[in-house]
Amino acid sequence: MHKHFNGLKTAGLLGGIFALLLIVGALIGGGKFLWVFALIGVGTTAYSYWNSDKLAIRAMRAYPADPQQFPQIHRIVAELSQRAGQPMPKLYVSPTQAPNAFATGRNPDHAAVCCTEGILALLDERELRGVLGHELMHVYNRDILTSSVAGAIAGVISSLAMMAMWFGGDRDRNPIAAIAVALLAPVAAMVIQMAISRTREYDADEDGASLTGDPLALASALDKLQNGVQRAPLQPTQQLQNASHMMIANPFSAKDVSKLFSTHPPMDKRILRLQGMARGPQQPR
């Protein structure tokens, strides 16, 4: 698990986005307003993190998964939760034919896993088990907290940059640098935020495959999802854009998302990594 050092990458990316925040605050406001925006960011993070399950479920118009109607989901999640030694999350189904799934919630005791009707129709039980293992590991790895912190810091950076564009900021020291930072910092913050999201997807793939003991099942599911999402993409509304990083596959059409700003790694790379896990460590000849 974590053989690609994704935890270290995430820590480095979070450190990078925090350093960018300090640079922006120093160049634009001389540090005068940094703590004000930092407090706003902390407040936004706390609200989003605390209510993440409700916000995402509402965005997808999901309804509780009745055990009688969806026994397969309940059986798989109960088994995997028990295997991981973690509480079983609440289960939901979203009434959309776009195939996808996501997990949300501030911790394992207050978590939810949601599948769309489209993914339930597309995958067989083995593939669905791989997907649900992936989603459970997002919860157990506290990925919602990581993404909330990254998003809040990125938001503070954007707010500082906007303040500089409208009110001038502290440009007397180095006006060219201040203007450049005001223009480029929000883009850089978004790039780092998306990189963190992609790294957490790799981790959930690896850890989920370890939990199920079947990397090829998840690889097969991702292959089907790659084609299924392109046949039935979601429209990139504001609510769905805010929840898209939680989903196992980018829910939007490929033409709407560049690689640099994508919340998900390329499917082909994810599938290759999982196939490598199934082969196991290569023995020297």
pLDDT tens readout for residues 40-67: 656 666 666 676 667 778 889 999 999 9
Domain residue spans of the chain? 6-279
- What pLDDT, on the 0 to 100 scale, is given for residue 37? 60
- What whole-number distance in Å separates Cα of residue 44 and Cα of residue 9? 25
Q: How buried is residue 235: exposed, middle or buried, by Cβ count under 10 Å (0-12/13-18/19+)? A: exposed
State the residue for tokens 């055990």. 67
Task: Give the separation between CA 58 and CA 231, rounded to whole angstroms.
Answer: 24
Residue 156: pLDDT above 50? yes
State how far Cα 239 lies from the chain centre: 14
Kindly report whether the global pTM for this prediction surpasses the value 0.85: no
| Structure confidence at residue 244 as a pLDDT band (50, 70, 90) | confident
Query: For residues 34 and 246, what is the distance between their CA atoms, to the nearest angstrom?
Result: 29
Q: Say which residue the tokens 């978004």 belong to.
A: 190
> What pLDDT is recorded for position 131?
98
pLDDT at 76: 98
More confidently predicted of 222 and 171: 222
Active site residue 135: yes
| pLDDT greater than 70 at residue 167 | no
Across the range 88-116, mean pLDDT stands at 92
Q: Return the H-helix or E-strand segment holding 107.
A: strand 101-107
Structure-block tokens of residue 62 = 């999901």
Alpha-carbon distances of 280 from 8, 147, 201, 223, 275, rounded to whole Å: 22, 30, 20, 20, 9
What is the arithmetic mean of pLDDT over 79-85?
A: 96
User: 46 vs 108, which has greater pLDDT?
Assistant: 108
- Least-confidence region, from 76-90, 92-106, 116-130, 205-219: 92-106
117-131, 148-162, 230-244: least confidently modelled range: 148-162
Q: How many angstroms separate the CA atoms of 249 and 212, rounded?
A: 19
94: alpha, beta or left, given left = phi > 0 and alpha = psi -120 to 50?
Answer: beta
Q: Give the residue from 75, 31, 19, 67 showing the smallest Cα distance to 188.
A: 19
Residues in contact with 79: Cβ distance below 8 Å, sequence separation at least 6, in sequence order: none
134 has pLDDT over 60? yes
User: 3-state SS of the chain: helix, strand, coil percent to 5?
Assistant: 65, 10, 25
Q: Which of 88-97, 99-108, 159-168 has the highest mean pLDDT?
A: 88-97
Q: Which of 120, 114, 106, 109 shows the shortest CA–CA distance to 135?
A: 114
Q: Which of 117, 125, 127, 135 is catalytic?
A: 135
Confidence at 172, pLDDT banded by 50, 70, 90: low
Q: Which of 18-27, 207-216, 227-236 is predicted with the least confidence, judged by mean pLDDT?
A: 18-27
Give the pairing of strands 110-116 and 90-94. parallel
Which pLDDT does position 26 carry in this prediction? 63
Contact (Cβ atoms closer than 8 angstroms) between residue 156 and residue 206: no
- Give me the percent of the chain exceeding a pLDDT of 90: 39
